[in-house]
Structure 1
Amino acid sequence: MMQISIDSASNKHSLINVMHRFIAAANNMDETIMVPSLLRDMPLEEQSKSQVENNNNEPPSLNKQRDMYEHYLLLKSIKNDMEWGMLKREMSSGASFLEMAMKQEEQKPVTGEIPVDNNTDLEHQFHFHLKGLFGVLSKLTLQADDLTNRYKREIGAANFMR
């Protein structure tokens, strides 16, 4: 059985650490949001200044979630997929994000390029996907933290109005 060295797990730039940060943020979000239905009809448009500054070079993302409640459910679903993997999805017969991505990849048109041996560029593919995974997990962590903080503000404002 392979063991993870303590040095790699304690490195703040390790994939394991980035995964733990997202899961911790999602758990905090889940523990803080006691009444998720309050998130219904709250638009996602409010973003922290740090996110806006970080996204200056990126085109504006189109959030398919219409409100914070759907975004909350998405973050919980991703966390569950990370913790339980494909087994839980197979048992419930639902399609995971990985399965949907694979189906989209299969539907891409043939471009006429010469097929490349799968083993020739594995290191490049690994680093490409690792970089993408770091970016996605970092953004998801920020989104979970932002959703938690916004919920706290909304609930705090409601408590003062009584």
Structure 2
Amino acid sequence: MQTTEAKLKRSSLSLMLKRYSSAVSDMERTILLPSLLRDVPSDWMDCEAARANDLYGNYMMLRTIRNTVESSLVPLEEQDGRRKEPVRSPEPDSEELFQFHLRGLCSVMNDLTEKTRSLTEKYLNMIGVAQ
């Protein structure tokens, strides 16, 4: 039986971010001609606006997210917006709120990793390389 600590280590945010970064690096090494993804409809995206994108747009989005995750930079307009907000002391439920957002972030990172792997597999199928 696995201990709680072992489960936490296996599903840590740091590990999820590394998995995602690795999946995107693998995608970049595999997809030598990203332009082949243009005009290929994306069928695995959830929202309607994302479905309107082709696989090339999704490829670029996944790379951009990885670059943002690795650089840990928040876009300037978001930083400015945060400075304008009043500074509040931590509320009693800050830990609960943190846990909620952490679970959400972990879920998003797992989803993006799977989508990155799916895009890589679809590219390989398009060029006729079987896995």
TM-score by structure 2 length?
0.77
Runs of 4+ with deviation above 4 angstroms: none
Question: Which of 113, 132, 153 is the equivalent residue of 2:125?
Answer: 153
Q: Which residue identity lines up with residue 127 of structure 1 in the other structure? A: Q
Q: For each residue in 1:76-103, what CA deviation from the matched residue of structure 2 results, as whole angstroms up to 9, or x when unmatched?
A: 00000011121xx7xxxxx47x939x96
How many residue pairs are counted as aligned between the two chains? 118
TM-score by structure 1 length?
0.63
Question: In 1, Cα distance between the equivalents of 2:64 and 2:42?
Answer: 18
Check if 1:99 corresponds to 2:97: no
User: Taking every aligned residue pair, what percent have the same amino acid on both sides?
Assistant: 32
Q: Which residue identity lines up with residue 24 of structure 2 in the other structure? A: A
Aligned to 1:62: 48
Check if 1:22 corresponds to 2:3: no
* SS of residue matched to 1:11: helix
Structure ranking higher in helix proportion: 2
Aligned to 1:74: 61
Q: How does 1:136-151 map to 2 (within 5 A)?
A: 136-151=108-123
RMSD over aligned CA atoms reads: 2.9
Question: In 2, Cα distance between the equivalents of 1:149 and 1:13?
Answer: 24
**Which 5+ residue runs of structure 2 have no aligned equivalent?**
none
Alpha-carbon deviation of 1:129? 0.5
Q: How does 1:2-41 map to 2 (within 5 A)?
A: 11-41=9-39
Aligned to 2:71: 84
Question: In 2, Cα distance between the equivalents of 1:141 and 1:63?
Answer: 20
- Higher-Rg structure is 1
**Which 5+ residue runs of structure 1 have no aligned equivalent?**
1-6, 52-59, 90-94, 107-115, 158-162
Alpha-carbon deviation of 1:16? 1.1
* SS of residue matched to 1:156: coil
* SS of residue matched to 2:58: helix
Q: For each residue in 1:28-74, what CA deviation from the matched residue of structure 2 results, as whole angstroms up to 9, or x when unmatched?
A: 011111111110000001x4xxx9xxxxxxxx532425100000000
